[in-house]
Structure 1
Amino acid sequence: MKYPVLSINLRKIRENARQLLKMCKESGISVSLVSKVLAGDRKTIGDIAGLGFSQLADSRIENLIAFSDINLPKVLLRLPMPSEAEAVVRHADISLNSEIEVIKLLDKEAAKQNKTHGIILIFDLGDLREGIFFRDDYLEEVSEILKLKNIRLLGIGTNLTCYGGIIPTYENLSELIKIKNRIEREFSIKFEIISGGNSSSLHLLPNIPPGINNLRIGEALFLGRETAYGKILPGLHQDCFELAAELIEVKTKPSYPIGIMGMDSFGRVPEIKDRGLMKRGILAIGKQDAALEDLTPLDENVLILGGSSDHLLVQLNGDFRPGDTLRFAVNYPGLLRIMTSKYVKKEYLE
C-alpha cells in the first residue's frame, strides 16, 4: 500500500444516496447530485449516478467533461465565465445564471451549436454571494431572457449559507416562491425547477415551502449531515471517507522550539505552547494536501500539533514507530482539498 491514501467507502455512499433520495421524494423534492467535492472522481460518481438523481451538477466544466458518458443532465453550478461560454453550451445542459449579458453570450453560442441551453435564474435571498438581489426589480431581465431563441428558462433558484452563513428558513425560501409566482403570473409561464438551495435546506424537510421542488445536494450525501446547523441526518453514514498517512519519524523532543522565533514556512509567526518533553511524530502529508484543522485523528492517542507543506506533526502517546499508519476523519473542506491533491492515493471499498 502506498501512502497517503484516502479510503472511499462506496457502499456507505450508496446507502446515503438512497436514504437522501427517499427523504426528499417524500417531500416532492428532486435531488441534483453535486459532485464538486470529489474533483471529477469518475468511479464514485458513476457508482451512484443511476440511483434516482435528477441532474449531475458541478462547479467546473472540466469535471462535467469527465462525466460526459453518465446519462444525467449536466448542470454547471458556478455562474459561467463569459470566456467559457462555448464550453458551457457544449458540455452543460443547464447552467445557473444571474447576468443578462452572459446569458446573451450563451444564447449566441447555443445558436452556433444548434442547441437550446437551459438556465436557472439565481436569486440572492440575503447570503450575498451570487444571484439577482431579491429586493431589486427583475421582470425586465426575465423579459429579455424569454426573447432569446436558444435559451430555455427552466426555473429559478437560490443559494444560502455558503458565504454569509444565512440559514434557509421557511420565511426566506418563501421569498423565492413569491418571485416564482410573480414571474409566472406576469409572463403566463410555468417553471419546471424551483431549486431551494443545498444541503443546508435539508433541515426544513418535510416543512419546506410548497413549490420548492429541487435541492442541490453534495455534503449531506458524502458526509451525512445537513449544513445549516451541522446536525447528523438520521440513517446516514458520516464515515464514508478516511485518510491514512505514514509516520516517517518518531522521537522524543521538547514541545517548544529553541532559538529566536520568526515566521514559519507559510509566513506566520507560530503560536506554540510549552508542554515539556513529548513523543512527536511526523507524517508524510502536509498542507499542500489538506488543511490540518480539517483532519481529526481517529486514535485518541494522537494529537495534531501543526505542520508545513509536506509534513504533519503530531503528539503521540503510546508505542509508535516509523512505518506505522495513522488514520483521520475529514470534514468537507478537508475532503475537497484531499480529492484535489494528486499526491493522495484513492482506495475504493465495497
Structure 2
Amino acid sequence: MPNPDTYGIYLHIPYCRSKCRYCDFYSAPGTRGVPDEYVTALLRELSKSSRRPDTLYFGGGTPALLRPDQVHRLIKAAAPLPGAEITLEANPDVVTPENLAGFAAAGVTRISFGVQSADDAQLRRLGRTHTAAAAAQAFAWAREAGFREICGDIMLALPYYSIAEFDKTLALLQAGGCTHISAYLLKIEPGTAFGRTPPPGLPDADAAAEFYLYAVQRLAQEGYRQYEISNFACPGHEGRHNLLYWNCKDYWGIGPAAHSCLGSVRRFWPNDTAAFIAGTVQEQYEGPCNAEDYLIMQLRLCSGLNLTEYAARYGVRFDAGQMAFLRHCAASGYAVLDGDTLRLTPSGMIVQNAILEELI
C-alpha cells in the first residue's frame, strides 16, 4: 500500500485573465486577481487536517494571480515539512520582480512557467497573452528573485509546427535557467475553442509522433533526462509532487475541480467556485485507487512497472497471452522487459493507450 508518510497538497487556483483556446481545465475570470474570499475558503479547508505535506503545489488556472501575502498565508496554514517542495505555476505576463521576490520570501521553492512556444504568432494562435520576450524577462526576474528550481512548458505538434520552432523554444527555456521541462503534445479537447473550431495546419498523428520523438532526443542531448511521458529534468530536479500522482501516493486536492487520493480512495470537488467559497459543497466520492489506476500511472514513468510489486499490491499477474504481447512489444521497440520490470520506450509511450487496452 502507499507509504502513509509521503503526502502532498494541491491547491487549485482557478482564476485566469483569459481562456486559452486549447484549455479544458476548470477556470473562472480573474482580471482583478484572486479574491480574498477564495483564499479564506482554502484556509478553511486546510484547517481540517493537521497532516503536514512533503510537497505543496499551487496549480490552476493562474496561481501567480495570487498576491505574495495570500501565498504566505496559505503556506503557513499548510505547514509543510522542512525541505518540502513548494511549486507555483505562473504565466510569464502576470509576474513582476516584486511578486516573484514576494513568492520566494513566502516560501515558494519552485516556479513553473507556461511558455509553450517561442514563436509569437503561435502564442497568439493559442490564445496565450505573453510574448517570447516576456517569457525571457520572466525567467530573468525569477533568477534575480533567487529561484533555483525553474520549470518551463513546451507544447508540441501545434498548428504549422516545425523542428525549428521546437529548437527555438528549447533554447529560450535553457537560456532562462530551466532545470525542468514539460513537453507534451497538443490535444484538441471537446468544449474548448479549438474543439469547436479546430485550427488549420495541425500535423497528423505520424508527424506529431515524430515531433515527440525528436523532443525526447533533443532534451536528452541537452541534459534533460526523461523520467515520465511528458517530463524531463536535469538530474536531481525531478518534480516530487507529480511523482506522488504517478506512484499512487497520498495527495489532497483543495478547490473546485481538484482531485484527491487518500488511503487509496479518490475524491473530487465539484466545478463550482461560488459554492466552494460559500462552503455549500463538499468533496465527492469518485472511487477506489485500484490495480488499473496503478498500471496506467506506472507505465507513464520511465522507471516502469515492477511486476512483482504489482502482484504483491493487487494480486494481479499478467497471463500467458498478455506476456506474449509484451514480448512482442519489446521485440518491436515499444517496451523493455528487464527482469520483472516493464518499461515503455518513447515509441511505446506514443501508443501507450493501445498497449494498455491489451493489458486491462
Interval of TM-score (by shorter of Structure 1 and Structure 2): 0.3 to 0.5
Q: State the structure with more CA Rg.
A: 1
Q: Greater helix share, 1 or 2?
A: 2
- Return the TM-score normalized by structure 2: 0.34
